Amino acid sequence: MDNDIIILGSTGSIGTSTLNIIRRNKKNFNIKLLTANNNIKKILSQAIEFKVNKIVIQNKKKYIKFENQFKRNKIQVFFELEKALKSINKKVHYTINAISGIDGLEPTIKIIKYTKNIAIANKESIICGWKFIKNTLKKNKTNFIPIDSEHFSICSLIKNEKKKNIKKIYLTASGGPFLYKKLLNIKNVKAKLALKHPNWNMGKKISIDSATMMNKIFELIEAKNIFNLDINKFDIIIHPKSYIHAVVHFNNGLVKFLAHDTNMEIPIMNSLYLNNESFIYNDNNLNFEILNRINFIKLDKKKFPLLNLIKIIPIKNSYFETILITINDELVMRYLREEINYFSLINNLLNMIKKPYFTKYYQSSPNNINDIKNMVNKVKNYLNKYFLTK
């Protein structure tokens, strides 16, 4: 097995899950590079455990505190990804991009030419910069693997199928912690309750997005881009158990669905062993109790008002996606800091996205990554002024 691997964002939940898999199968993998932003102590521990001698750290100030420990363990530290990649001096077999947020786009573009396969868990990259990713993948003949459980499931379900035979693709959503509560009853709910996802153990940002259903809107845009299908081909259905991850209805009357436990290690491991059918994932026996209680529920836009955003998603990608992600990022951050309440998070997003200051950009698209960065800064500046004058 060709086993060289790079993990971008190794200290986050996806990066940690990937390392959990490698920990159980160390002889099958050779980690060439790990990267992190702020969690210097954790990446140091990871590098020592997995005998990784090259790492990239974004936060130089935090690194200084641990500098001697890196030197003592003969770990070479880089502060620029490209320099680290050039030092490896060959294309690795597999890279997983587990960086969170829109900051993951530039590393995605940079690393593609250095890897044969790239698994992307960074939804912001796919949403805002898919055309740049797609062109770079094609240019460098790099294989792309979506790692979100929903998109990995769709890939598996429509493999070898013709697009014209697809009637509808359903992404499943758990409904989050407030599925059975009325919106008015959670108007002032604290973030600590919104973070309590019933099925998944995720980071703070994505947990809030799951509660508001924003995460599913992002996944719809991702799916539209990845599979090159009209957004009307996709729909969302509530599935509280999170056991079914995607359902595909074909024109010939057949319906396929893919199920697995609520453990991100399953799609990650399947992507790691993509061309190797001999691996075994040691999970529990098939749970027929869950299958007997699949329980699909129709979406309620009164309960999840952000679902109304779906009808204004442009057919062609534009600055809309970058603006939507940035507004949401900023509002979620303010909610986590308790500067706004849950109701305000939702209402501000619905109002902001329709403001003429932003809508004038929905007919044009970025020409490069710098255009996306500039738009992110423009949105942040606008929101800062907005909240200062409120």
Q: What is the pLDDT of residues 228-280, one digit of tens each?
A: 999 999 999 999 988 999 999 999 999 999 998 888 999 999 998 877 666 77
292 burial (CB, 10 Å; 0-12 / 13-18 / 19+) is exposed
In 10 A of CB 155, how many CB atoms? 19
Distance CA 115, CA 197 (A): 34
Report which residue type is found at 228. N
Q: What is the pLDDT of residues 321-366, one digit of tens each?
A: 999 999 999 999 999 999 999 999 999 999 999 999 999 999 999 9
Distance CA 382, CA 330 (A): 11
Distance CA 325, CA 215 (A): 10
Give the pair of three-digit tokens for residue 97.
């991009």
Let me know: does 143 contact 117? Beta carbons within 8 Å.
yes
b/e 352-380 (16+ beta carbons within 10 angstroms → b) = bbeeeebeebbeebbeebeebbebbebbe
Domains defined for the chain, CATH in brackets: 4-147 (3.40.50.720), 149-310 (no CATH), 314-390 (1.10.1740)
Length of the chain: 390
Q: Is 360 helix (H, G, I), strand (E, B) or coil?
A: coil
Distance CA 380, CA 383 (A): 5
What is the band of 27 on the pLDDT scale with cuts at 50, 70, 90?
A: confident
Closest of 308, 119, 311, 336 to residue 206, by C-alpha = 336
Report which residue type is found at 23. R
311-235-272 Cα angle (round to 5): 120
Q: Is 5 helix (H, G, I), strand (E, B) or coil?
A: strand
DSSP letter for 355, please. -
- pLDDT at site 142: 97
Mean pLDDT of the chain: 92
Which residues lie closer than 8 Å to 154 by C-beta, 6 or more apart?
146, 169, 223, 226, 227, 246, 248
In 10 A of CB 39, how many CB atoms? 18
Strand pairing class (143-146; 166-173): unpaired
Determine the average pLDDT of the residues in 26-53. 94
- pLDDT at site 274: 76
Distance CA 358, CA 354 (A): 7
Q: What is the pLDDT of residues 56-100, one digit of tens each?
A: 998 888 888 899 999 999 999 999 999 999 999 889 999 999 998
Chain centroid offset of residue 337 CA:
22
For residue 239, CA distances in Å to 192, 256, 325 come to 23, 16, 25
Q: What is the model's pTM?
A: 0.92
- pLDDT at site 90: 86
